């Protein structure tokens, strides 16, 4: 959660990590547009509390996932590219700040596509290898074009730019 003071107080946190022997796992998204949809949807639910008056960032049933996935955010197409650039820069800055710490970098899409990636995490943590199971149910499973209210605006804002691959970069969901 880079927005929770990690970058702002990186010097103090790096010192703390080194003194205490903390290992960090950085989990990023390759597709920053999908990340934006998730963040906007999560913020929406934080305000509306669609599931029995409670906010849930992670769900454990397909029914709950369906309810949350119905929300289609409207993305500000004018500020989209600067926002994506800022997110990329923040990620690069974070990795630079924490390069002297013991850490591993993972990408959400890699975890979804390659379940053996978790073996890398277990090895990094120096814990015995085992089969890991999650009760979490993925919320946004449809193509991005079906998840964004103003898809045409978003499409035109990114078409022909360095971020164009975010428009079509989808992945299969394994059960």
Rounded distance between C-alpha atoms, residue 5 and residue 3, angstroms: 6
Question: For residues 73 and 46, is the Cβ–Cβ distance under 8 A?
Answer: no
Biggest CA-to-CA distance, the chain: 50
Nearest alpha-carbon partner for 1 in 19, 27, 21: 27
The share of the chain scoring above pLDDT 70, in percent, equals 95
Kindly report the average pLDDT of the chain as a whole number: 90
Say what the alpha-carbon torsion angle 160, 173, 89, 68 is, to the nearest 10 degrees. 100
Q: Average of pLDDT values for 138-163?
A: 94
- pLDDT, tens digit (0-9, with 9 covering 90-100), for 73-118: 999 999 999 999 999 999 999 999 999 999 999 998 898 888 789 9
Q: What SS3 state is found at 37?
A: helix
Backbone dihedral angles phi then psi of residue 69, each to the nearest 5 degrees: -75, -15
Nearest alpha-carbon partner for 97 in 9, 3, 4: 9
Q: What is the pLDDT of residue 126?
A: 95
Rounded distance between C-alpha atoms, residue 17 and residue 9, angstroms: 12
Q: Average of pLDDT values for 132-140?
A: 87
């Amino acid at each position: 959660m880079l927005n929770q003071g990690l970058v702002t107080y990186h010097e103090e946190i790096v010192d703390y990590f080194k003194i205490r022997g903390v290992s960090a796992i950085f989990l990023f998204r390759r597709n920053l547009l999908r990340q934006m949809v998730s963040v906007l949807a999560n913020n929406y639910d934080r305000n509306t509390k669609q599931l029995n008056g409670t906010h849930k960032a992670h769900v454990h049933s397909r029914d709950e996932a369906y309810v949350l996935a119905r929300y289609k955010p409207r993305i500000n197409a004018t500020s989209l590219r600067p926002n994506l650039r800022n997110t990329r820069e923040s990620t690069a800055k974070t990795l630079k700040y924490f390069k002297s710490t013991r850490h591993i970098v993972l990408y959400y899409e890699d975890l979804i596509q390659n379940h053996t990636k978790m073996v890398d995490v277990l090895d990094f943590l120096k814990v015995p290898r085992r089969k890991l199971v999650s009760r979490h149910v993925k919320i946004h499973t449809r193509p991005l074009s079906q998840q964004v209210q103003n898809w045409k605006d978003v499409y035109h804002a990114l078409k022909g730019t360095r971020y164009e691959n975010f428009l079509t970069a989808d992945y299969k969901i394994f059960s």
